[in-house]
Structure 1
Amino acid sequence: MKVLILGGSRGFLGSHLKKKLKDPILCEFVSMRNLDWSRDNFPTDCIINLVGKAHDFTGKATEKDFFFANFELAKKAFNIFAASQAKLFIHISSLAAIEEVESAKSLSENTTYNSVTPYGRSKQAAEEWLMSQELPSDKKLIILRPPMVHGAGDKGNLKQLFSIVSKGIPYPLVRFKNKRSFLSIDNFCFFIEQILLQNEKLSSGIYHLSDDETLSSNEIVKIMKQETGLKVPCFPLPKRIISFLSKLGDHTRAFPLNTWRLKKMTSTLVVSNKKIKVALEIERLPKTAKEGLRDTIRALKEQH
């Protein structure tokens, strides 16, 4: 199978897929910044769209920036697919398209949209546009919604939390009890591989990806402490004090916690991966949630 991957091989997801996807899957990685490659008429069976913007650590990205990367380029990627001989288009969306903060119940693919940030809204807009497009009977569209994907090279919230823990700063959020779904990069690559090899089992539509187990923030910190060997003390501040301090962080980037980050770290947000596992007849994923987390922490430790 020949696969054209939009987004290049230097990004987080692309760099891992380049290492993991082997024969009989032949991959060609290309950038959307320069479309000269499109003149070569690369013969392909599948196009995977990894193009998108997630992290904004500068605070300078505008809503227009997110909609260009996550919506406009998604439309361009689909149009490339529609004009190609490829039969399968895999678009990497995000759980943020339907929920970005918390949910009392496990989220299924039928959950109503509730995105609240430019990132989430741009992902939602791309999904809605893609699902509205008419496809020839021999072409298929698969939209994948992962929660936070982590692994070596990850620049997301786990890296920020690891930075705090590794400095020996007392962990103050012990009194918050939560459960969250994550996806290790190894399990992400496994899902992609299985979709490519068994795509005849899937119908066009939206599918959730996630590890099989959830993790709490307290469990994550505990594993970080075990992997680093640091005796980081826990300092269980009352929730009301934490909430007050997080509001101070809304007004200065010098403070590591704000109300949005507090919600992301302490709320419950669980994903159901049942639909895709049943369709592909997957009994268990290569890595448990804790095994994947330990891999990520070890990689962060090497970089630190």
Structure 2
Amino acid sequence: MYNVLLTGSTGFVGQHLIPHLKGDYVLNYINRSGNEGPNQHIAKIDADSNYTKALKEINVIIHCAARVHIMDENSANPIDEFRAVNTKGTLNLATQAAQAGVKRFIFISTIKVNGESTTGRTPFNEQENAPEDPYGISKAEAEQKLLALGQKTGMEIVIIRPPLVYGEGVKANFASLMRLVNKGFPLPFRAINKNKRSLVSVYNLVDLIKVCVEHPNAANQVFLASDDHDLSTAEMVQLMAKVQGKSNLALPVPPALFSLVGAMLGKKQVVDRLIGSLQVDITYTKNTLNWAPPYSVEDGFKLSAKIK
């Protein structure tokens, strides 16, 4: 039986992973806080921490811990803070893992490594690398260093780049939008029906991660993840209404008006995420791993509707 070390187990993805890994694997954890125990190790993900105890007899690491993307970043040096955890911390853990004989290191990266938008172009693929913000840059740098480490040491590297991850317990914009639809607010999104966004439910992402623990074809590969069913903003709101048994009261406000208001308020990036496209092509993921998302996008939205 594999001994698996999970970082970020208290995070959104980590919490959903745990019940799917328990029973099939001996599960160990690295967390920033809590109680130290036989399978629970307290340590920060940084350039200096020693992970010797946590890495003992570990076969596979699933590295979910990260300094996550922050919409209203107010740090004086955000790129340094992202790098401290996402790049330097990841490389420190991976270097010690290789020295300890860990066979495979699974890195949960982000589609932001590819870029911010596919408006007016084809969907992203796994070979592209054009990050624009500090979070994406720090993850891209970590990917490059991990692949180089893998070539040098023989430890297998698996990189997964998800777009927006949603599901029960998710927070931020997805949860807010779901609640607004549930309360019957007439949202002005009906006319935003030409864009396309790729999403991935945490249920499909967890399934993909679990496949990558042992699949021989996953070694030293980069995979994109999605539900394989892209939605416009209007379709997203319509589906949120459907799964919650609500009427879709969205109003047909022209996308051009959003662009105008966004420019006036200095919120162009926010508006671009609302009316623009971000699509990923998971053909390579499906073919390489003989995998398909087991949950439909409607399944994912139904499960997400349990958001408190």
Residue 128 of structure 1 aligns to a residue in which SS?
helix
1:237 to 253, 271, 276: 253
Shift of residue 205 of structure 1? 2.5
Shift of residue 207 of structure 1? 1.4
Indicate conservation of the 8 Å contact 1:49/1:77, yes or no: no
**Could you tell me the TM-score, scaled by structure 2's length?**
0.85
Structure 2 CA distance for aligned equivalents of residues 237 and 98 of structure 1: 30
1:14-33 CA-partner distances (Å, limit 9, x unpaired): 11111211333221111242
Structure 2 CA distance for aligned equivalents of residues 129 and 63 of structure 1: 17
**Could you tell me the TM-score, scaled by structure 1's length?**
0.86
Structure 2 CA distance for aligned equivalents of residues 203 and 43 of structure 1: 20
Structure 1 CA distance for aligned equivalents of residues 131 and 154 of structure 2: 32
Indicate conservation of the 8 Å contact 1:100/1:120, yes or no: no
Indicate conservation of the 8 Å contact 1:150/1:183, yes or no: yes
Residue 173 of structure 1 aligns to a residue in which SS?
coil
Shift of residue 201 of structure 1? 2.6
Structure 2 CA distance for aligned equivalents of residues 294 and 23 of structure 1: 27
Indicate conservation of the 8 Å contact 2:104/2:219, yes or no: no
Indicate conservation of the 8 Å contact 2:244/2:302, yes or no: no
2:198 to 181, 196, 200: 181
Letter in 2 for 1:275: Y
Structure 1 CA distance for aligned equivalents of residues 173 and 85 of structure 2: 21
Moved more, 164-173 or 80-89: 164-173
Structure 1 136/36 Cα, relative in aligned 2: closer, same or farther at 3 Å? Answer: closer
Residue 75 of structure 1 aligns to a residue in which SS?
helix
Instruction: Report whether the alignment pairs 1:286 with 2:294.
Output: yes
Q: Residue 262 of structure 1 aligns with which residue? A: 271
Residue 206 of structure 1 aligns to a residue in which SS?
strand
Indicate conservation of the 8 Å contact 2:104/2:155, yes or no: yes
Q: Residue 64 of structure 1 aligns with which residue? A: 80
Q: Residue 144 of structure 1 aligns with which residue? A: 160
Instruction: Report whether the alignment pairs 1:217 with 2:233.
Output: yes
1:220-276 CA-partner distances (Å, limit 9, x unpaired): 1012222334445222222332212223443xxxxxxx3212211222222122222
In the TM superposition, 1:1-304 aligns within 5 A as 1-7=2-8, 9-31=9-31, 32-33=43-44, 38-39=52-53, 41-56=55-70, 58-61=72-75, 62-103=78-119, 104-111=121-128, 113-135=129-151, 138-176=154-192, 177-198=194-215, 200-231=216-247, 233-250=249-266, 258-282=267-291, 284-296=292-304, 298-300=305-307, 303=308
Structure 2 CA distance for aligned equivalents of residues 152 and 135 of structure 1: 38
Quote the sequence identity (%).
25
Structure 1 CA distance for aligned equivalents of residues 265 and 246 of structure 2: 26
Structure 2 CA distance for aligned equivalents of residues 118 and 285 of structure 1: 30
Residue 80 of structure 2 aligns to a residue in which SS?
helix
Letter in 2 for 1:277: K
Letter in 2 for 1:202: A
Indicate conservation of the 8 Å contact 1:2/1:43, yes or no: yes
Q: Residue 255 of structure 1 aligns with which residue? A: none
The root-mean-square deviation of aligned C-alpha atoms, in Å, is 2.2
Moved more, 229-238 or 78-87: 229-238
Moved more, 174-183 or 57-66: 57-66
Residue 39 of structure 1 aligns to a residue in which SS?
coil
Shift of residue 185 of structure 1? 0.7
Structure 1 CA distance for aligned equivalents of residues 14 and 63 of structure 2: 10
Indicate conservation of the 8 Å contact 1:70/1:126, yes or no: yes
Unaligned 5+ residue runs, structure 1? 251-257
Residue 81 of structure 1 aligns to a residue in which SS?
helix
Structure 2 CA distance for aligned equivalents of residues 236 and 129 of structure 1: 47
Residue 180 of structure 1 aligns to a residue in which SS?
coil
Residue 222 of structure 2 aligns to a residue in which SS?
strand
Structure 2 CA distance for aligned equivalents of residues 232 and 169 of structure 1: 9
Structure 1 64/138 Cα, relative in aligned 2: closer, same or farther at 3 Å? Answer: closer
Structure 2 CA distance for aligned equivalents of residues 48 and 146 of structure 1: 14
